[in-house]
Structure 1
Amino acid sequence: MRRYGKNPDEDDIRHRPNPKGNRPRTNIRPKHEDASEGMVLTVDRGRLTCLVEDRVVLAMKARELGRKAAVVGDQVFLVGDLSGRKDTLARIVRIEKRRSVLRRTADDDDPYERVVVANADQLAVVTALADPEPRPRLIDRCLVAAYDGGLEPLLVLTKSDLAPPDELLETYRALGIRHVVTRRDELMSGHAADLVREYLDGRVTAFVGHSGVGKTTLVNALVPDDRHRITGDVNAVTGRGRHTTTSALALPLAKGDG
């Protein structure tokens, strides 16, 4: 073994390289004081689409955030290329504290409770009065999730031309939940969207509802034409709709601020 004297030369000292790379290890992280604020619009396999001012930017989460996940609605801070041009990628370096959350509870397919939407002001529970029949237990679960996560609930009842809304509204009257009642012809003419829009202006709203209730048709009437989504029909045999909207994404209100 080679021994060093009291005053060894620098050339005599052996430096062990970092086995994980050439950068020295440090716990000091940059503050990113020049980061720009944005809102998460979609999340897809590690890539997040964010709205930064008036630009849509593709980003990924910084390693320093660890396992903390960003969801639709999160307010984040980004660095890097924020131009929004094709083949550019920014980096999310900070996720702001959430003022409200909408959680998906654990079930047989997914044993973990997950946050699916953050920072929404209200939860619009869309349900048809007939074709398909209302599901009170699903409405109850949505209301519990809204109250637990800090969102104000809103009942949107569709297809009132097929069945009256009185019995269902009476069930929840004691809770004082705001509600909107629409018909099928109003969905097609756009009048239903005008009725619902009054409750959406100036707020961030999460829409939920089982398949076939007219949720996607209503959302298409509320958002710009180039942001429309595919709709499906109710099965005449089973009385159930086909899932056509299965992901979470944020869409701008076409007429108004929401």
Structure 2
Amino acid sequence: MNDSKNAPLIIKHLFLALSSVLFVFPFIWMILSSFKTSSEVLKGGFWPEKFHWENYREVLDILPLQTYLFNSFYTSLIITVYVLISSALFAYMLTFYKFKGKQFAFSVVMATYMIPGAVSYVPVYVILAKMGLLNTHFGYTISMSVSVFAIFYLKQSFHNVGFEIIEAAKIDGASDWKILWKIVFPMTRSSFVTLGLVTFIGNYNNYIWPALILNDGSKKLITNGIADYFINSSLGRDWSHIMVASTIATVPLLIVFLVLQKWFLSGVTDSGIKG
């Protein structure tokens, strides 16, 4: 009897284990390929015939990874902080304020989410050019500092905060700013961490838009730097070196996720999709 009850659980665990292996396999293959020769990588084998540790030294000698990593980290951090603050303010208004046209305003905001991001490239590029902000990290960060998804996500999370709590705080004389950061934020902290992590990783991995507006080598992000050196340059495609650079670029994100995974999973669970 117990065996029949445990069968679905065993099947579930086997499915999750298999799924985990499938998801992590490309990352493991990339790390192992970073120790191979370029010809070995093209052969598609899993384990290297010999570990070429010198691949890492060679890549660090020809590629300014420190500069690219710093550019990606600090621009992604600035964008994440701004997105969290601006989205929290807008979501707070849509959740706890009562005014005519509130639903219409929310509908307009959500309608813009249906527009493909590539559609905005040309007008935003022209605006940045007229402002003299092309090829600058400031121009890049301000062009990425609004997220409709972030507004929607925090709005759904804020619905978990009782409206009566907000009303009681207002009766006690608390300002909206104080209510947001002293009451709402602590109650939805996991959602902020989840959104921050998703926003940071998304901008860290961004490729097309920064490739269009950041041209100087000293200003490139890690994604564009790797592509320019090993794919678009005259150096040719040394696949073992590409794997080395990709591994170095990926490991910091993995560390960040492992540190924040508790908050991330809690935020995914707690945010809810309520109306």
Which entry has the higher C-alpha Rg, 1 or 2? 1
- Structure-1-length-normalised TM-score: 0.21
More helix by share: 2
Higher RCO (C-alpha 8 Å, min separation 6): 2
- Structure-2-length-normalised TM-score: 0.20
More strand by share: 1
